[in-house]
């Protein structure tokens, strides 16, 4: 193992005036980032923990690396994720980790906000609680996931060729209290992640066991009720963890949401000194009534209230059942990791995004599907020394198959089908391979080089169309494939004064909806589609670069700074009246990010993340619709020795471009959104009492807004303008937790 030089400056030198100044300037702004290496470097963090505990140790022999990793695994879990010192370990400034400790006192109003632990990310909602959230990162309206991929215990959550939108990423099936840690990275620089990862990735890992059982009950405003029961026990030589979550919510809307959610999880973990395995079974079901975005003009003229609905029959139901297994083993200079999974999901989603542009029956649509997904990931890592240079070499294989049945789009009225637009059966197969090399060329120079290859194959069978013509079915059926090659390279210099410098570059991609790759004629009438929309490519490349700094110069303060740029050959943009995404032109983005995480005392934690982004089309320099230009997330957490605790957080996003009216060339923008949430409580022995106050300032800003054509009420002319979904008003939730 190449020697790690972790910060010792705090122990050797008193604070200088400059250090104190930096503490004030950055600490009070204060917040995050712990860049976490890719999967093959997770054991390196464990070794770093050992070095921190034993300052005299200067080197770690390569032959002992795997054993030390396992010995110190418990230490790694217990440490504060964002507080880890990753100098000498992380391959980029925008990579990091957040542990369960950061979740403990952070108020979450919805599951999607787990993504907001990634600095610069925002999760919003324009529909009901059972639908995937809208995510925003690095100038992307990710819709429900398009260019940001998430894995939960090795299972990819993004759905290709989904009924509602490409990359649909629903994380409502996660129980937040059981998330052990979240590893994240931004940019296309990581060889081990492929599809939907141009903007970045998140990997969530759930706990193997619990020190104490959890019985938790929450009740709150607008008929919010949630119960969680979780525990673990010894079964044979392993640990069995089980959990069940029940959640009911009516919501703030004039039409009650009547959300009914259930989550269940079983996990069995078994292992020894040089091997381990875990088996997971999960179940999730939800049903809800949705209030979607409504026209600003209808609010202004009194046709609708701020929390009103254009169609009280919108909503949906969904189910998800999964089984997965993970395995690892290691020797003196090698390690293997593997996981396999299988899951079933279904969705029926009724949405009316545009009112009555079709006529008196309204514009409601049904998007539905049933899906069986199988896949796996295998990786082998060798720790070598070649020509005197320490290096790690990893090779990986990933595969995934989605069989999507009854993939349908229908026109409906009050949830009754009145017309079939299209119905498909689709098979999507992806195979990815990668090689990654980490070489320590010098005491202060290391590189991470990767090469990734991906093969995508789409098989599309049209089962029914609105035209009913056999020629339409034949023209839009077929197979398409594509091979993508994505090189990656990173250079890390330092540390000097507990500060490292990073330079990263790489290619990535997102896949496209398989139906679009074979589309040649309009399914409703059989007419030829526009050449720009016909038979789109199965995948579109992205390429980007980043220069960054990571510093732990000020004791207790972890800071990163990054300048980045990203170009995409094809943009995926949400289309309001169609309720899906469509491919548009080439785009480029650039921005700056600053993160800080500061713990000046054991009882006080400060954090602050700032991101500024510009996102435009390459051909006309116009802003990309729904690109968020500014994100700020900052907070403070106090944990007193007597058991009292409190947390306050500010969540801000603004400079959001919506779209341009094609008739008047008027640009529409959304206003700034500022939300302040507060959590406070008392914990003593086996009991914890807490109260969360969301939106304590009573903001009525937009949770999300769009600009497109709509008509409301019935009989009104079609009008281009802003449609909005407001943030939820001030809400209170009280929670009692009993450990047993």
Using one digit for the tens of pLDDT, what is the confidence trace for 63-99?
Answer: 333 333 333 333 333 446 777 777 878 889 999 999 9
Please tell me the distance from the alpha carbon of residue 475 to that of residue 680, in angstroms, as a whole number: 61
For 182-207, the pLDDT digits (tens) are 999 999 999 999 999 999 999 999 99
User: Higher model confidence: residue 165 or residue 414?
Assistant: 414
Residue 622, SS3? Answer: coil
CA atoms within 13 A on the CB side of 563: 3
Residues 6+ apart with CB under 8 A from 545: 503, 504, 505, 506, 564, 565
Query: Strand 179-186's sheet: what is its strand order?
Result: 95-99, 179-186, 200-206, 148-152, 155-156
| Average pLDDT across the chain, whole number | 88
Task: Please state the rounded mean pLDDT for residues 106-133.
Answer: 91
pLDDT in the model for residue 351: 96
Question: Would the pLDDT of 425 be above 60?
Answer: yes
Task: Please state the rounded mean pLDDT for residues 310-326.
Answer: 97
Band of pLDDT at residue 10, cut at 50, 70 and 90 = very low
Task: Please state the rounded mean pLDDT for residues 158-185.
Answer: 94
pLDDT in the model for residue 103: 81
CA 739 to chain centre: 30
pLDDT in the model for residue 574: 53
CA atoms within 13 A on the CB side of 25: 9
For 335-384, the pLDDT digits (tens) are 999 999 999 999 999 999 999 999 999 999 999 999 999 999 999 999 99
pLDDT in the model for residue 43: 42
Q: Which long-range contacts (CB under 8 A, 24 or more apart) does 8-13 make?
A: 8/55, 9/497, 9/498, 9/553, 9/555, 10/555, 10/556, 11/55
For 464-496, the pLDDT digits (tens) are 999 889 999 999 999 999 999 999 999 999 999
Residues 6+ apart with CB under 8 A from 131: 125, 164, 170, 288, 290, 316, 349
Band of pLDDT at residue 529, cut at 50, 70 and 90 = confident
This prediction's pTM: 0.87
Task: Please state the rounded mean pLDDT for residues 622-644.
Answer: 94
pLDDT in the model for residue 145: 74
Residue 26, SS3? Answer: helix
State the chain's maximal CA–CA distance in angstroms. 81
For 291-314, the pLDDT digits (tens) are 999 999 999 999 999 999 999 999
User: Higher model confidence: residue 1 or residue 449?
Assistant: 449
Please tell me the distance from the alpha carbon of residue 115 to that of residue 575, in angstroms, as a whole number: 23
Distances in whole angstroms, Cα of residue 460 to Cα of each of 164, 166, 411, 483, 556:
17, 15, 22, 18, 55
For the chain, percent of residues with pLDDT exceeding 90: 78
Band of pLDDT at residue 581, cut at 50, 70 and 90 = low
- Please state whether the peptide bond connecting residue 510 to the residue before it is cis, i.e. omega within 30 degrees of 0: no
pLDDT in the model for residue 403: 98
For the chain, percent of residues with pLDDT exceeding 70: 88
pLDDT in the model for residue 642: 94
pLDDT in the model for residue 534: 86
Q: Pick the range with the lowest mean pLDDT from 47-61, 566-580, 628-642, 652-666.
A: 47-61
Residue of 52, 160, 251 lying closest to 513 (CA atoms): 160
What count of other Cβ atoms lies within 10 Å of the Cβ of residue 244?
15
For 22-73, the pLDDT digits (tens) are 333 333 333 333 333 333 434 443 334 333 333 333 333 333 333 333 333 3
pLDDT in the model for residue 559: 95
Question: Would the pLDDT of 617 be above 80?
Answer: yes
Please tell me the distance from the alpha carbon of residue 96 to that of residue 98, in angstroms, as a whole number: 7
pLDDT in the model for residue 583: 77
Please tell me the distance from the alpha carbon of residue 34 to that of residue 28, in angstroms, as a whole number: 18
Residues 6+ apart with CB under 8 A from 150: 115, 156, 157, 158, 169, 171, 201, 202, 203, 204
What b/e sequence results for 80-119 when a residue is b if at least 16 CB atoms lie within 10 Å of its CB, and e otherwise?
A: bbbbbbbbbbbbbbbbbbbbbbbbbbbbbbbbbbbbbbbb
């Amino acid at each position: 193992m190449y020697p790690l030089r972790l910060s010792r400056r705090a122990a050797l030198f008193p604070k200088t005036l400059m250090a104190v100044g930096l503490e004030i300037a950055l600490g009070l702004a204060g917040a995050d980032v712990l860049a976490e290496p890719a999967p093959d470097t997770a054991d390196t963090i464990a070794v770093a923990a050992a070095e921190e505990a034993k300052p005299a140790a200067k080197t770690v022999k390569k032959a002992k690396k795997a054993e030390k990793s396992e010995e110190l695994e418990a230490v790694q879990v217990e440490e504060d994720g964002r507080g880890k010192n990753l100098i000498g370990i992380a391959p980029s400034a925008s990579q990091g980790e957040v542990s369960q400790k950061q979740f403990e006192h952070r108020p979450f109003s919805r599951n999607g906000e787990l993504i907001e632990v990634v600095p610069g990310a925002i999760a919003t909602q324009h529909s009901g609680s059972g639908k995937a959230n809208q995510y925003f990162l690095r100038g992307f309206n990710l819709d429900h996931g398009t260019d940001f991929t998430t894995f939960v215990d090795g299972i990819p959550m993004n759905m290709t060729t989904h009924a509602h939108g490409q990359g649909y990423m629903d994380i409502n099936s996660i129980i937040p209290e059981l998330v052990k840690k979240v590893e994240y990275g931004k940019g296309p620089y990581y060889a081990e992640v492929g599809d939907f990862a141009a903007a970045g990735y998140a990997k969530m890992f759930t706990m193997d066991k619990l020190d104490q059982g959890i019985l938790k009950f929450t009740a709150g405003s607008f008929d919010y009720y949630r119960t969680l029961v979780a525990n673990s026990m010894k079964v044979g030589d392993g640990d069995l963890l089980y959990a069940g979550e029940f959640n009911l919510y009516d919501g703030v809307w004039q039409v009650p949401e009547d959300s009914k959610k259930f989550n269940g999880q079983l996990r069995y973990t078994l292992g020894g000194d040089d091997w381990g395995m875990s088996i997971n079974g999960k179940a999730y079901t939800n049903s809800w009534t949705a209030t979607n975005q409504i026209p600003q003009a209808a609010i202004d003229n009194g046709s609708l209230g701020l929390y009103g609905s254009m169609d009280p029959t919108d909503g949906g139901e969904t189910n998800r059942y999964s089984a997965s297994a993970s395995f690892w083993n290691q020797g003196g200079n090698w390690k293997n990791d593997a996981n396999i999974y299988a899951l079933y999901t279904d969705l029926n989603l009724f949405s009316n995004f545009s009112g009555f542009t079709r006529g008196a029956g309204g514009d409601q649509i049904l998007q539905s599907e049933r899906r069986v997904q199988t896949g796996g990931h295998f990786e082998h890592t060798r720790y070598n020394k070649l020509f005197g240079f320490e290096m790690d070499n990893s090779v990986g294989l990933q595969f995934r198959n989605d069989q999507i049945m009854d993939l349908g789009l229908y026109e409906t009225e009050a949830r009754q089908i009145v017309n079939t637009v299209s119905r498909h059966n689709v098979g999507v197969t992806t195979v990815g391979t990668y090689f990654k090399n980490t070489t320590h060329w010098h005491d202060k120079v290391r590189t991470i080089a990767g090469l990734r290859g991906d093969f995508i194959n789409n098989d599309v069978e049209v089962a029914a169309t609105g035209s009913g013509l056999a020629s339409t079915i034949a023209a839009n059926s077929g197979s398409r494939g594509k091979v993508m090659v994505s090189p990656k390279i990173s250079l890390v210099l330092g540390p000097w004064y507990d500060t490292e410098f990073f330079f990263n570059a790489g290619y990535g991609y997102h896949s496209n909806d398989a139906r679009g790759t074979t589309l040649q004629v309009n399914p409703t009438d059989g007419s030829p589609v526009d050449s720009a929309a016909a038979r789109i490519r199965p995948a579109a490349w992205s390429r980007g670069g980043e220069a960054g700094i990571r510093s732990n110069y000020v004791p207790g303060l972890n800071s990163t700074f990054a300048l980045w740029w990203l170009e995409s050959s094809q943009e995926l943009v949400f289309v309001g009246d169609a309720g899906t995404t469509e491919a548009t032109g080439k785009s480029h983005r650039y921005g700056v990010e600053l993160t800080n995480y500061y713990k000046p005392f054991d009882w006080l934690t400060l954090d602050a993340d700032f991101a500024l982004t510009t996102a435009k089309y390459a051909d006309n320099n116009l802003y990309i619709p729904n690109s968020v230009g500014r994100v700020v997330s900052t907070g403070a957490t106090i944990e007193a020795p007597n058991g009292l605790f409190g947390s306050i957080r500010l969540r801000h996003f603004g400079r959001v471009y919506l779209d341009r009216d094609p008739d008047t060339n008027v640009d529409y923008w959304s206003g700034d959104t500022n939300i302040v949430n507060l959590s406070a409580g008392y914990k003593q022995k086996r009991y914890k009492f807490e109260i969360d106050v969301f939106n304590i300032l009573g903001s009525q800003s937009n949770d999300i807004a769009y600009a497109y054509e709509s008509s409301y009420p019935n009989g009104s002319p079609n009008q281009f303008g802003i449609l909005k979904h407001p943030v939820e008003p001030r809400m209170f939730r009280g929670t009692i937790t009993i450990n047993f």
